[in-house]
Structure 1
Amino acid sequence: MTPFSKSYKEDDDLELIKESFEGSKGALNKLINRHQRFIYNLALKFVGDRDEAADLTQEVLISLVSKLDKFNGNSSFRTWLYRIVYNQFIDTKRKKVEKSVVSFEEYGDFLDTAYNDEGMTPQEQADNEKLIDWTRNKCLTGALICLDRQQRMVFILGAIFNLKSSIAAEILEVTPENFRKQLQRAKGDLFTFMQDKCGLINVAAPCRCQKKTKGYIQDGIVSPETIQFYRQFTDSIESVVESKNREIDYLITNPYLYLFTQQPYETQKDNEIKSRHILSDPAVMQLFQLS
């Protein structure tokens, strides 16, 4: 379940906020944990690196806690919180993946030329299935990072996590019509690139995951230790996004979105440690009169 699932109850957030200001550390911890995983997965899609996504998540959660007394109920708590998320993501300094992936043109040149000579045998592909998954997810990350930050956030919210345009527009403080236009442009830019380069979408396109993986293995870039995580994840993004868009647009874009929604919906490995760190901050303890 995500904070945008139909079964999610915002009244539970409001009750936890009330209890937090009554001095309940447990309630504040629950409030953090109710949103931490979703924010982390948004951040992971946005910056393309687990460590930097964890740092960005931590920054957002600190903002949530430190600004919670400013929440006045003029909007829903969920809208208020994810405006903080959106603004912090957009304003954060450029991360290392953003610095390495500059544009669709340059990324396309890399896909056209790097590790395209030698493929794997069917047996090698079977033996290295998880490594090939790792390569595919890294490649999708690179393509997503080619979108500018605004387009990227619109695509993550509207396409990958399938938020309704009315909800996403409220978070971004635009009209639903404007959000839909931005989403359509982001889809157009990204899907045109994938159609031209991705062999999973277009058999005539040059890039093959197994070829790239073989090159990465030979150069020591990827190994079984590298993809330890992929043996552990159980949830995909699709499995936690309850509401499916059945419009014609979804039927057209499904082959492209399938690759993104089958990616892991990850759990931040040290989230409890980070939660305790936030709760032990003297300013937080004073604000909520925590003992």
Structure 2
Amino acid sequence: MSNSQETLRELDRVEDRIRQHLQVVKEPILLVEGPDDQQILELHLPNVSIFAADGKVNALRATDSLESWKMQFMTVIDRDFDSTEELSAHVYPYDRRDLESMLIGLGVLALVLQHQGSSEKLSNLGGPDALVERLEGLAVPAASLRHRNAQEEYGLIFDEVDLGSKVVLASLEFQTRSYCAALLSKSRVSIAIDRMLEIAAEDLPDLHGPRGKDVVALAGASLRRIAGSLPSAAATESVLTGQLHSSAGLALSKSDWLTKLCDRLIPIP
């Protein structure tokens, strides 16, 4: 990258855009990780200026800069599998693991399953809420691997493996060994598969649950056979995540999380 490109990138830092914005508009400031967060939250915060930081790292860097400038703002981030014990008072994580996980906890995925699945098949599974609980349990091995990967910096490349492809559609059984083998083949790290299986069997160290999009990927697998009859193209993680986001309005508007966020957003004098 040339020096001129680096300079342009520095000039376009989100914290600088916020500082310039406040010279003209006097509204509470909310910094979020990306455009999905911005699109979902701006419907519920009409008098708040929301800025997307292009990722968690950029959001936390911008938070440090804004704090050093003594500015009033709040930052919303995913917890992911990072420690949140030492976060700034200006940082307000989503409940549970991330945005999608929080929406699942608010009942939005159950609503999507109800609309996209077969009522008869869902009833045989105990209903959409029971299926969501089962899906979250199936996602725990992947969550345990993600947690240990974040702590030990193994370098596992999770985005290269489709979690939903490691499910037996007829029984909704998660194939942990096949998933671990696929992760190893994509990541090229020196971890024995038996060690990965041990990690996958570990309990999570907190109560925030698995990654939300992992649960959504498993929901897609369920909708192809055991809970519905969707074609594979209509049951991908990205398609269902979009439906999860678009269905979130009512549940999010009534959530304690949003109420507490509103209480933290300080008007700009």
With normalisation by structure 1, the TM-score equals: 0.30
Higher relative contact order at CA 8 Å, sep ≥6: structure 1 or structure 2? Answer: 1
Could you say which structure has the higher helix fraction?
Answer: 1
With normalisation by structure 2, the TM-score equals: 0.32
